[in-house]
Structure 1
């Protein structure tokens, strides 16, 4: 795990960081519509829409440095790479936790994600993260519901790991879209970074 310690004396967001670190409820969630028309068209080529979304989410997270930052007490670190952690249904009817490192380039990422997800589905999953690592983003797909807003259960104000959720694909007469939500800690992430994330996700989906 490669990480860089942020110098709070020169970091432009240091004042905002210290301000929002004192909040009891410092998290906020933003939901928007994402166009998946191109992704659905790629199904004919054998592309998995689910893994396509995983890749685009990973690309969005890595396009915004603040989404790779985590704090530990009063220190802030920037991770070079974030691992995507998602629940995976298993063959026994339960679920396990998958951990997929982000790889640039959809084909390489897709092959590795498929391999790791199949291991979890067969019962070879790792346990849930108990706090030993923070180089993660938590992902949750809700394909049964075209929701309008969502937030997550959080253990407390010091949890600074981003959460990404996405919902049912909806057909609007040949144009497809879905809801996607990014939940973040305000000590690390402002609205401008949230907007940049969604823009990068859309660009990535359009390029798969």
Structure 2
């Protein structure tokens, strides 16, 4: 665990400004093309969700500012960001998972499957382990949304990025996935969100 040198950070004034706000978060929704990813998952009998989640986590881990978390008066820098995804049960409730990230898809899939099995065999809402070094994410496959709002805890220092993935849609022969992201502006700017979406699309395009 490392901590950011806030005094010599080129975003120091931005950090201080947005921390004065009652709700310093901002969010947006953009489409990513998942044609190759969807086709590959279908042909290989793999989970489409786990495939695009893995690509998402690669992108998250490639953007420095998405690894920053506010801890008191400090900004912690996490070396690795994991995934806390909602996993649905047959009765339409869900549990929060904590999926350890690995660049290796097979290892990531095993970590996902372990958490899925735990959730499907329990009624627990919360995972067995947790760290701020994660993202919170949900799949909402019933709606191809164009806007999205996350619940706000009231803690303006909450700095864990929140993501949601919507229902697939087809446009001009391409399969598009709506992706919502909500971040704390004290740590993350539109530029960094742009970096995330660019890297996410690159990772999706790599899948064959």
Looking at structure 2, the residues matched to 206 and 118 of structure 1 have their Cα atoms a distance apart, in angstroms, of 29
Query: 3-state SS of the aligned residue for 1:101?
Result: coil
How many residues align structurally?
205
The farther-off stretch of 91-100 and 5-14 is: 91-100
Looking at structure 1, the residues matched to 188 and 152 of structure 2 have their Cα atoms a distance apart, in angstroms, of 17
User: Residue 33 of structure 1 contacts residue 177 of structure 1 at CA under 8 Å; is this kept in 2?
Assistant: yes
TM score, norm. by length of structure 2: 0.91
User: Residue 94 of structure 2 contacts residue 125 of structure 2 at CA under 8 Å; is this kept in 1?
Assistant: no
RMSD over aligned Cα, in angstroms? 2.0
Q: Hey, what does 1:99 align to over in structure 2?
A: 98
1:198 equivalenced with 2:180 (yes/no): no
Q: Hey, what does 1:171 align to over in structure 2?
A: 170
Looking at structure 2, the residues matched to 118 and 174 of structure 1 have their Cα atoms a distance apart, in angstroms, of 36
User: Residue 145 of structure 2 contacts residue 178 of structure 2 at CA under 8 Å; is this kept in 1?
Assistant: yes
Looking at structure 1, the residues matched to 85 and 4 of structure 2 have their Cα atoms a distance apart, in angstroms, of 28
Q: Hey, what does 2:25 align to over in structure 1?
A: 27
Looking at structure 2, the residues matched to 190 and 33 of structure 1 have their Cα atoms a distance apart, in angstroms, of 19
Looking at structure 1, the residues matched to 113 and 206 of structure 2 have their Cα atoms a distance apart, in angstroms, of 19
TM score, norm. by length of structure 1: 0.91
The farther-off stretch of 164-173 and 19-28 is: 164-173
Q: CA deviation at 1:91?
A: 4.1
User: Residue 90 of structure 1 contacts residue 123 of structure 1 at CA under 8 Å; is this kept in 2?
Assistant: no
Q: In the superposition, relative to structure 1, how do residues 55 and 125 fare at CA in structure 2: closer, same or farther (>3 Å)?
A: farther
Q: Hey, what does 1:133 align to over in structure 2?
A: 131
Q: Hey, what does 1:108 align to over in structure 2?
A: 107
Q: CA deviation at 1:53?
A: 1.9
Q: CA deviation at 1:153?
A: 0.6
The farther-off stretch of 195-204 and 82-91 is: 82-91
Query: 3-state SS of the aligned residue for 1:9?
Result: helix
Q: In the superposition, relative to structure 1, how do residues 36 and 104 fare at CA in structure 2: closer, same or farther (>3 Å)?
A: same
Looking at structure 2, the residues matched to 182 and 124 of structure 1 have their Cα atoms a distance apart, in angstroms, of 28
Q: CA deviation at 1:111?
A: 2.6
Q: CA deviation at 1:77?
A: 0.7
Q: CA deviation at 1:113?
A: 1.4
Q: Hey, what does 1:118 align to over in structure 2?
A: 117
Looking at structure 2, the residues matched to 154 and 5 of structure 1 have their Cα atoms a distance apart, in angstroms, of 26
Looking at structure 1, the residues matched to 199 and 108 of structure 2 have their Cα atoms a distance apart, in angstroms, of 17
The farther-off stretch of 42-51 and 106-115 is: 106-115
Looking at structure 1, the residues matched to 141 and 24 of structure 2 have their Cα atoms a distance apart, in angstroms, of 28
Q: Hey, what does 1:58 align to over in structure 2?
A: 57
Segments of structure 2 that go 5 or more residues without pairing to the other structure are none
Q: Hey, what does 1:162 align to over in structure 2?
A: 161
Q: Hey, what does 1:74 align to over in structure 2?
A: 73
